[in-house]
Chains A and B, each alone.
Chain A
């Protein structure tokens, strides 16, 4: 009965992989020339999501949203991860605090 023990590591790996893939859905955003691309993301209501923001500009930016209560500095050429939700349906604007005139976007929860 050695077989089950041999299978144990692969079984464990399988469980870990399943746990990892069962994490919150991932959404991605880019900052390019002080603009958010895309400037709107649509997410389901009552669901926690993971947002990854890539800053393609050489200068730092701060992802900020009063409605979402989020703020995070993203250095030039780097990325930042943050969690959002679960939220009720609605529109939640966000902006780049260092370039608020151009860097504007919104999370639409539906």
Chain B
């Protein structure tokens, strides 16, 4: 029970913690005021509470597809917010004024990621509140899992802050690309689950090499959306989403605007 809860909570916390670390590092890198964080945390806690309390009704909504649609919506919104941040961030780096939209982008990305992961932890931990024999193991496991997850997030943040601003910026963009691609692939699987999109035949199967059930496989799934036997749609979505990050960066640079600037 202890190990189960450590892995479950670690997996959920890690997804949100890593994205939070990258967003924080990016925000500091762009010299954006960190006030957005103070607004984010209470809103995320409120969102987690609402999601967990109303999950009954959410699940039954829209002919039983509510849970998948809301979760996929949160993940896609987080990714869209990341793209907005990268596009606006690059404009700031090019000398544009700080836009309030930038702080909004950071907030949406962090709130969506935290609500999605936090609600599952909340449900899991409260499910065992009534069973005294398992309660302690679950609580201790959850604290250890959350501790490791948060520590890894802090470590990632520390690492990003320790390197040169330029290197940290490039690494942040790469991390957003792989985390974002993972979010999009996870959303596509949820839409498959409610029969909104059709699954295809798997392109390959790497489960003998790295099983999705193994701890590294689970952590890799949590962070980059690792899928041992992806359908063509998932593979293309992963690639397309990862490439959307450099596209957003390029859009922020707006080379056509710079060309006109000297006039």
A residues bordering B, Cβ < 8 Å? 24, 48, 58-62, 66-67, 69-76, 78, 80-83, 85-86, 88, 97-98, 100-101
Q: Is the CB of A73 within 8 A of B67?
A: yes
Q: Which of A24, A73, A80, A88 contacts B123 (CB 8 A)?
A: A73
Main secondary structure of the interface of B (DSSP, over half): helix
Q: Given A75-B56, A83-B195, A101-B4, check contact A66 B212 (CB 8 Å).
A: yes
Q: Is the CB of A101 within 8 A of B192?
A: no
Measured between beta carbons, the chain A residues less than 8 angstroms from B130 are 58-59
Q: Is the CB of A59 within 8 A of B127?
A: yes
With the chains together, A71 CA to B117 CA distance in Å? Answer: 13
Q: Is the CB of B192 within 8 A of A69?
A: yes
Measured between beta carbons, the chain B residues less than 8 angstroms from A48 are 195
Q: Is the CB of A82 within 8 A of B193?
A: yes
With the chains together, A53 CA to B159 CA distance in Å? Answer: 44
When C-beta atoms are compared, the residue in chain B nearest to A95 turns out to be B213
Interface size on B, residues (CB 8 A): 29
Q: Is the CB of A101 within 8 A of B1?
A: yes
Q: Is the CB of B59 within 8 A of A73?
A: yes
B residues bordering A, Cβ < 8 Å? 1, 4, 8, 55-56, 59-60, 64, 67-68, 120, 123-124, 127-128, 130, 189, 192-195, 199, 201, 211-213, 217, 227-228
Q: Is the CB of A100 within 8 A of B67?
A: no
A58 to chain B: closest CB distance in Å? Answer: 8
Which 3 A-B pairs have CB atoms at the shortest separation, nearest pair first?
A66-B212, A81-B64, A83-B195
With the chains together, A8 CA to B259 CA distance in Å? Answer: 65
Q: Which of A69, A71, A75 contacts B59 (CB 8 A)?
A: A75
Q: Which of B127, B192, B195, B228 contacts A60 (CB 8 A)?
A: B127
Q: Is the CB of B56 within 8 A of A78?
A: yes
A-B contact pairs, 7 of them (CB 8 A): A61-B127, A66-B212, A73-B67, A75-B59, A76-B127, A78-B56, A97-B124
Measured between beta carbons, the chain A residues less than 8 angstroms from B56 are 75, 78
Q: Is the CB of A72 within 8 A of B123?
A: no
Q: Is the CB of B195 within 8 A of A72?
A: no
